[in-house]
Amino acid sequence: AYAQAWLTPGWNLESDAITVSPYLGSGALSQTVDYALSHNKGVFILAATSNPEAALLQTAQITQGIHQGKSIAAAMLSDVARWATEATPQNSVGAVLGATLDLPSLGIQPDEYPALPVLAPGFGFQGARVEDAQRLFGNLSTNLIVSETRSVLSAGRDGVVESVTRRAGEVASALA
């Protein structure tokens, strides 16, 4: 129902993509992913957020199954990568990875993953620097979506267009 509300073409809430939480189990998202793909929409699945409160959950080690020995964050990213490589259209399934995180400390080695879309909150006001994006995300920086809101909006109503334009140029340069 969540996917239908946000991804059905022509509906009042129609969006191009949604962000979903896999913490009911990644299998619980399969219908959402299928629905999004069938409507040429995108899905970003939380893998490792930069919320400090999430660290305990995201670093917990899995003790059974195919992801045994991995952190929950690394297991989620593995599932996202699998969905992303199987997705048609390509680049329709991605992960949310906080830009302020030390990914290797979560058992995530960015260069071990294909270049899947990554929504990366935490740039700007939260402290991550776009100049460090390629170092932080490795191969994953290929399809990186830099999320930065507060620092851009701090320019105020009259300066927001200039702020967005300037910052978009800086992001493009950093990721080139």
User: Could you read off the pLDDT of 130-165 as tens digits, one per residue?
Assistant: 999 999 999 899 899 998 888 888 888 898 999 899
Within a domain: 32 = yes
Within a domain: 159 = no
Q: How far, in Å, are 4, 20, 42 from residue 16 at the CA level?
A: 12, 13, 6
Confidence of residue 51 (pLDDT cuts 50, 70, 90): confident
DSSP secondary structure letter of residue 137: H
Neighbours of 96 (CB within 10 A): 24
Q: Provide the domain limits for residue 8.
A: 2-149
Q: Given this model, what pLDDT does residue 110 score?
A: 93
Q: Indicate the residue type of 138.
A: G
Within a domain: 155 = no
The token pair that represents 78 in the structure block: 């593995």
Within a domain: 161 = no
The token pair that represents 72 in the structure block: 């929950």
Strand partners for 46: 96
Within a domain: 138 = yes
Within a domain: 92 = yes
141-153: b or e for each residue (b if 16 or more CB lie within 10 Å)? bebbebbbeeebe
Q: Domain with 54 in it: what CATH number?
A: 3.20.20.70
Within a domain: 144 = yes
Measured in whole angstroms, the distance separating CA 76 from the mean position of its chain's CA atoms is: 11
User: In this structure, are strands 93-97 and 144-147 parallel, antiparallel, or unpaired?
Assistant: unpaired
Within a domain: 172 = no
C-beta separation of 160 from 152 below 8 A: yes
Q: pLDDT tens across 8-50, in order?
A: 999 999 999 999 998 887 788 989 999 999 999 999 999 999 8
Q: Given this model, what pLDDT does residue 102 score?
A: 92
Q: Given this model, what pLDDT does residue 44 score?
A: 96
Confidence of residue 73 (pLDDT cuts 50, 70, 90): very high
Confidence of residue 167 (pLDDT cuts 50, 70, 90): confident
Q: Number of structural domains, the chain? A: 1
Q: pLDDT tens across 116-136, in order?
A: 999 999 998 888 999 999 999
DSSP secondary structure letter of residue 15: -
